[in-house]
Amino acid sequence: MQADAEVAAECFAESVRIMAALRAPDGCPWDRKQNFDSIRKYTLEETWEVLDAIERRDWANLREELGDLTLQVLFYAQMASEHEDVGFSVADVLHELNRKLVRRHPHVFGEDASRAAGNRADVDSAVAGSSERVLANWEKIKRAEKPGVASEERKGLLDGVLRGQPALSEATQIGSKAAKVRFDWTEWTELLKKLAEETEELVAEVRKPDDTSARQARIESELGDLLFTAAQLGRHLGVDAEMALRSANLRFRRRFARMEELADGAIANSSAEALEALWQRAKRELAAEENPESGK
């Protein structure tokens, strides 16, 4: 373990040196041209590529994508070190991360170490193997880290939910925050009724005879309400709606690709009945391949 950590430290130090060289006056013109704003889109792209590699169980690709994501951290930190008004380095980033990990894990590193790393909250480190207790301590320590803004009474409850994230994830986090003040559905079955209600409202809006931009905006609003409710149903069932949809997208991709194989290039000319037959066959074949024991 110690040897692995030492090798990792050496590799990371080399990466830091390479990044500095790329941004140096005689470095790479493209890298030197970048700034905090221009790099943002690549950070998002790399994050999604990491998720994609995990979902495809492509571990070799995951190794590469994690490297690309790490590059984003190095890039931001190097740029920060070059600007006095920003003024931090990658060492500062790692130092703050290390303190945070120790601070928020008193059950692992001990309460004294947690306090030495800046913990101001009183928590019980005897979590007895409970992930729920760990999470409760984590949130309490996190709130105490910024006493000026920690109190929910001093700011809006939803202010901490980032807008710059996938909408389903945002909806789930909004619901979780609202639930803290008991503004929530009591049972998951109530959300099934709410889904039916939102579906009826969407259908009613779609069936209205007028064809105006205002009508289209109302349809979008009703569809948004339906999707928001679906995200809350996932939350109540312990399912991440964003991940559920990503899984559904991946299943559809695989099934549609199999349909194209089965149609042998003629899928565009297939009838509706033929497409449905191809879909059902693709589902059966893929299910049998993924769960070979089920066909025995």
How far is Cα 286 from Cα 289, in angstroms, rounded to an integer? Answer: 5
pLDDT at 295: 53
Distances (CA, A) of 223 to 20, 66, 183, 219, 249: 48, 36, 22, 6, 19
Let me know if the fold of 2-88 is the same as that of 167-239. yes
pLDDT at 143: 86
Pick the CATH number of 2-88 from 1.10.287.1080, 3.30.70.1060, 3.40.640.10, 3.20.20.70: 1.10.287.1080
- List, for residues 125-184, the tens digit of each pLDDT value: 898 889 999 999 998 898 898 765 444 445 788 988 888 788 999 999 999 999 989 999
Identify whether the C-beta of residue 274 lies closer than 8 Å to the C-beta of residue 268: no
Q: How many residues does the chain have?
A: 296
Q: With a cut of 50, list the residues of the chain below it in pLDDT.
A: 149-153
Which homologous superfamily does the CATH classification assign to the domain defined by 167-239?
MazG-like (1.10.287.1080)
What's the predicted TM-score (pTM) here?
0.66
How far is Cα 136 from Cα 213, in angstroms, rounded to an integer? Answer: 47
